[in-house]
Amino acid sequence: MSLRTIDSLGDLSGKNVLVRCDLNVPLKDGQITDDGRIRASLPTLNALINSGARVVVVSHLGRPDGAPEAKYSLAPVAQRLSELLGKGVVFASDTVGSAAEEAVAGLADGDIVLLENLRFNPGETSKVDTEREEFAGKLAAFADAYVSDGFGVVHRKQASVFEIAALLPSAAGLLIQAELEVLERLTRTPEAPYTVVLGGSKVSDKLAVIGALLPKVNTLLIGGGMLFTFLAALGYKVGSSLLETDQIESVKGYLAEAEKLGVEIVVPTDIVVASKFGADAEFVTTPASGIEDTPFGSSGLGLDIGPDTAARFAEVIAASKTVFWNGPMGVFELAPFAAGTKAVAQALTQIDGLGVVGGGDSAAAVRALGFDDDQFGHISTGGGASLEFLEGKRLPGLEVLGWQ
């Protein structure tokens, strides 16, 4: 069975189409700091608008606890979406209440409305099937068809992702199609040499993807907070750096497995160690074997890969034909500890092949560090969803659209 696409829905002119986007963008003081996910939704929304559909957009933002919270309102998103589309976007101040009903009823062909944050309603993320089904039914009452285009949530069994697809003629949008095309290349037909770069804070979040990808890759580069569990597995002391002691044996197992498979796991040889967590911290660069030999002793914190490691990672990436990167190399939000992440991003822009930034913090990092989206082969909109796909997990939001 193959993925159902928008074409399968037929002529949508004059029909109400409910579109599940992932507009979960970062906000600071009510201002959007990264509109990448909004821009990623534009191809599908423009296609529907141009077909004469009456478009009802739904999304979540943040993690409100099933009730309205002003800081999680989608109102700033509606404004930005209007600017990017070049046309007015009506904003409804509730999800399935009177404001939403009135806004949807007022739509003309080619118009678009954005409903308030789905997670203001407890039915969206409820663990009780019937509660999700009830909320999905109320959303479905607004539409003649459903388009799923929020790739960042397809691994979630939620009302607007899963249950609603059974209530309306349903299909995947252009964003989901694009994401799947890239992920298929990474899992089924990667061109060698194939390098995976993993960072982020917790090794426990990445063990499953390491296990799934080891038989497929040539090189695995390890950075971020998770690197210290690898160093500990190699017998190094890591001071007060982030360490998951309960994962050391698992990491040793993967190191042994990689050796058997002929996969090179590159662990940092030098580390930027700081006196504390903060942009004003004192810091030094030290060999990975000497983290506790710095002036900060056992209280030193590793906050970035060192320059030698960054150069080595860039060299490996440059020699690769396929690269998947998920997770920053250090605390890129703090200027003294952003160099490792920037080096990886820079190298990824220069490869002769497919370079994929795996969503989440990696996508935020490349934009925060001044890179443009079009400098990369692909920037995913779904960090967790991308990882679960690469792990080989079943994703309910895709299966309900016919994917297998």
Residue 69 has pLDDT above 70, yes or no: yes
* 375-401 mean pLDDT: 92
For strands 54-58 and 16-20, give the pairing: parallel
- Number of alpha helices (DSSP H) and beta strands (DSSP E) in the chain: 13, 17
Q: Please state the rounded mean pLDDT for residues 243-247.
A: 96
Q: Which residue has the tokens 């002929």?
A: 262
So what's the pLDDT on residue 285?
A: 98
Contact 342, 314 (CB under 8 A): no
Three-state DSSP class for residue 290: helix
- The predicted pLDDT at position 134 comes to 98
Q: How far apart are CA 213 and CA 258, in angstroms?
A: 10
pLDDT value at position 1? 45
Q: Which residues of 311-349 are buried (b: 16+ CB within 10 A; e: fewer)?
A: ebbbebbeebbbbbbbbbbbbbebebbbbbbbbbbbbbb
User: Which residue from 299, 307, 220 is spatially nearest to 267, judged by alpha carbons?
Assistant: 220
Nearest-angstrom CA–CA distance, 213 and 262: 13
pLDDT tens for each residue of 309-348:
999 999 999 999 999 999 999 999 999 999 999 999 999 9
Q: pLDDT band at residue 404, thresholds of 50, 70 and 90?
A: confident
User: What are the structural domains, with CATH classification, of the chain?
Assistant: 6-174 (3.40.50.1260), 182-391 (3.40.50.1260)
In the prediction, which pLDDT does 121 show? Answer: 97
Shortest CA distance to 233 belongs to which of 217, 221, 244? 244
Mean pLDDT of the chain: 95
359 is known to lie in a ligand binding site: yes
Residue 241 has pLDDT above 70, yes or no: yes
pLDDT at 383: 80
**Mean pLDDT within 129-152:** 98
For residue 302, say whether it is annotated as part of any ligand binding site: yes
Residue 65 CB neighbours (<10 A): 10
* Cβ atoms within 10 Å of 106's Cβ, excluding its own: 12
Q: What is the DSSP letter of 145?
A: E
60 is in an annotated binding site: yes
For residue 102, pLDDT over 70 is answered with yes
Q: Is 313 helix (H, G, I), strand (E, B) or coil?
A: helix
The answer to whether 23 is annotated as binding is yes
Q: Residue 378, class by beta-carbon neighbours within 10 Å (0-12 exposed, 13-18 middle, 19+ buried)?
A: buried
- pLDDT category of residue 384 using cuts at 50, 70 and 90: confident
333 is in an annotated binding site: yes
Least confident residue range of 41-55, 82-96, 252-266, 379-393:
379-393
Where does the pLDDT of residue 305 fall: very low under 50, low under 70, confident under 90, or very high at 90 and above? very high
For residue 292, is pLDDT > 60? yes
**C-alpha to C-alpha distance for 245 and 206, rounded to whole angstroms:** 15
Q: What is the arithmetic mean of pLDDT over 212-228?
A: 96
Mean pLDDT throughout 144-165?
97
149 is in an annotated binding site: no
The answer to whether 394 is a known ligand-binding residue is no
CA 74, 163, 385, 18: dihedral to nearest 10 degrees? -40
DSSP E strand boundaries for 288-343: 301-305, 322-326
Residue 353 pLDDT > 80:
yes
Does 327 carry a binding-site annotation? Answer: no
| Rounded mean pLDDT, 250-260 | 96
* Percentage with pLDDT > 70 across the chain: 100
Q: Which residues are the active-site residues? A: 37, 202, 360, 384
